[in-house]
Structure 1
């Protein structure tokens, strides 16, 4: 096979002749080369081990593809060629600008790019021994490990870019079970605060790819980004939370249709996802109600304790079950372009009473919205009554949370909510 002829560059970054590859290497002539970061749509970077037969830095780790620019070749075309040859990637390139690199082994004008690719990786056997996708943070941790040999030029040319993107995080938001962080304005990362939440997040990761294509509103599709500690990531859904939105009857109609689709979901879609099935979910519910009986009822005024106990007994009754979101409220609903567009946070998904998902739509939204939900969903009188009880139960969870991490103020807020919703004048 004919030897490659490489484009040489002068110190000003301009083409300046050419030389066979072997001559360029032997004399360490200044040439042109490309480097391309390959990310997937979750922001991970493809990292690979170079083969031991490479002419420079054999068996080193690298987190870019690329190579020399050939004589007469446009650098971006050279980058596309190298990317396709080394990894089988053919996506569009975004320029990160030019830079210089030089050491005892190689000296070149660097043309840097980044690309996003979700297709298969097809490593070139002569170039790549093996590879894997890593989060930016885990890649940086490996770069800081002196025992892991990384390409010094890639480290020098792309290290600042990595650190800049690793630092592009919003302030963590503390939830009851998870801690959420917006990353690069594009993704939401969640880490569990408790062991139970880790199980829930893993079930959500398995469930959502199966569920998302079958639903009329957008839902997140998370992946496990890092294992230790566990971190899951999904793309930010467009829009804002519905907590401050003025919902309309059209929103109610869309939400009712969405819930009907969720609750009619065939069991085979979610049966192997790991979410609690009906028997396990009921056992968990009964255990929670027992704790509420002993920990919350005694905090109520004497004259309200009978009503509180009656509510717990009604919730404990057996009901039809289906797939449910499990924690549907304005804080988990997004609005974009003036209407409801998505539903977030499915870690509480389970097989349970579908009325739990109807509580907020029917009793926490304006009456015209609730009426539209009921009509689109086809709510029965029995479902309406159960949804009202689930709505009444909401502050009981708040009170229990306050007895743990939440603190006394949360307990007081929860008790006020319980007493308000136990009021006999509250009607559907």
Structure 2
């Protein structure tokens, strides 16, 4: 198999110069810089108004092409901005690029989400639920089975012991999620919706006043468990805000608590992997996500959930 070329600033500058007629500097090209300071440079800022994303293998190319069609399907249903592409094509044989208009604002890692911003998130969750699943699947969006919360609970228990040895986490906190509770919080049949599946802080565009203005990177979107997006929001904006947004979107106690515990178990597992250098994310970010997911909420009791409780029931 031919090795994919490594994107460089010169590669990006030459490509963008052929796409944009303005904004070039006296040196013969626009200002470009990688979004991430480390790792493979697949996403680049281009001047102040554009973002260039480069696919680095054939699988990423397929996801990127699907994303372009998916964004058009999602856009009418959600109250926040979805990126628009101003140019697309191949930057290397079989590898595509998309040049998107930058959505103004910072990330949820930089700005706190306000109460009005939580309403924006509620609108996002509501809109995702309204996207026709059949149309999404027709675009190639995969259907993914819900994760086993019981299996995740056991894995988190092992990770918690490692964190305890490193003086990072008290394993007793996981005892709130019993085996019986994990069974009660299993995903309900027929609850699959369109799930962004990567609602991390870096993918939420937040303005200085706390409004959620846009959502980036739809390449990992699936048809599946809505609790996964509730879990993502718990990592990005904190458990209380995530549960309030999900409740405003019409989700009941079961999916809210399921999302909460998916997030909590995930953060324990990922921080343990980070300490063991099996996780690339910075330890500071992993610790911040754990802290957000483990913020206390009012919806902590699961013993009163009935097996026949509707997912749309009020907490």
Please tell me the TM-score bracket, short chain as reference: 0.5 to 0.7
> Structure 1 pair 309/379, CA: closer, same or farther in 2 (3 Å)?
closer
Aligned to 1:323: 194
Aligned to 2:131: 265
Aligned to 1:387: 259
Aligned to 2:308: none
Q: Does 1:406 align with 2:280?
A: yes
Residues 105-125 of structure 1: CA deviation (Å, up to 9, x unaligned): xxxxxxxxxxxxxxxxxxxxx
> Secondary structure of 2:218's partner?
coil
Aligned to 1:376: 248
Q: Does 1:352 align with 2:224?
A: yes
CA distance in structure 2 between the aligned counterparts of 1:311 and 1:239, rounded to whole angstroms: 43
8 Å contact kept, 1:204–1:346: yes
> Secondary structure of 1:271's partner?
helix
1:227 deviation in Å?
4.4
Aligned to 1:93: none
> Secondary structure of 1:230's partner?
strand
> Secondary structure of 1:334's partner?
strand
Residue correspondence of structure 1 range 52-131 to structure 2 within 5 A: none
> Structure 1 pair 422/218, CA: closer, same or farther in 2 (3 Å)?
closer
8 Å contact kept, 2:32–2:46: yes
Over alpha carbons, which structure has the higher Rg?
1
1:171 deviation in Å?
3.5
Q: Does 1:333 align with 2:210?
A: no
Residues 126-153 of structure 1: CA deviation (Å, up to 9, x unaligned): xxxxxxxxx9725989xxxxxxxxxxxx
TM-score (norm 1): 0.50
8 Å contact kept, 1:224–1:233: yes
1:387 deviation in Å?
1.5
8 Å contact kept, 2:50–2:99: yes
1:219 deviation in Å?
0.8
Q: Which runs of 5+ in 1 are unaligned?
A: 1-134, 142-157
Q: How many residues are treated as equivalent by the alignment?
A: 266
CA distance in structure 2 between the aligned counterparts of 1:340 and 1:416, rounded to whole angstroms: 20
CA distance in structure 2 between the aligned counterparts of 1:304 and 1:209, rounded to whole angstroms: 44
Q: Which moved more, 1:183-192 or 1:358-367?
A: 358-367
> Structure 1 pair 353/393, CA: closer, same or farther in 2 (3 Å)?
same
> Structure 1 pair 243/364, CA: closer, same or farther in 2 (3 Å)?
closer
CA distance in structure 2 between the aligned counterparts of 1:330 and 1:415, rounded to whole angstroms: 14
> Structure 1 pair 321/178, CA: closer, same or farther in 2 (3 Å)?
farther
Residue correspondence of structure 1 range 196-207 to structure 2 within 5 A: 196-207=59-70
> Secondary structure of 1:213's partner?
helix
The structure richer in strand per residue is 1
RMSD: 4.5
8 Å contact kept, 1:355–1:383: yes
1:365 deviation in Å?
3.7
Which of 95, 109, 130 is the matching residue for 1:243? Answer: 109
CA distance in structure 1 between the aligned counterparts of 2:62 and 2:13, rounded to whole angstroms: 24
Which of 49, 72, 96 is the matching residue for 1:186? Answer: 49
Which of 80, 84, 90 is the matching residue for 1:226? Answer: 90
> Secondary structure of 2:116's partner?
helix
> Structure 1 pair 293/213, CA: closer, same or farther in 2 (3 Å)?
same
8 Å contact kept, 1:218–1:341: yes
Aligned to 1:216: 79
> Structure 1 pair 309/369, CA: closer, same or farther in 2 (3 Å)?
closer
CA distance in structure 2 between the aligned counterparts of 1:272 and 1:164, rounded to whole angstroms: 46
CA distance in structure 2 between the aligned counterparts of 1:184 and 1:198, rounded to whole angstroms: 24
1:275 deviation in Å?
2.2
Which of 263, 282, 286 is the matching residue for 2:145? Answer: 282
TM-score (norm 2): 0.64
Greater RCO structure (CA 8 Å; 6+ sep): 2
Residues 135-192 of structure 1: CA deviation (Å, up to 9, x unaligned): 9725989xxxxxxxxxxxxxxxx9xx69846342124415888732111222111234
8 Å contact kept, 2:125–2:246: no
8 Å contact kept, 1:334–1:341: yes
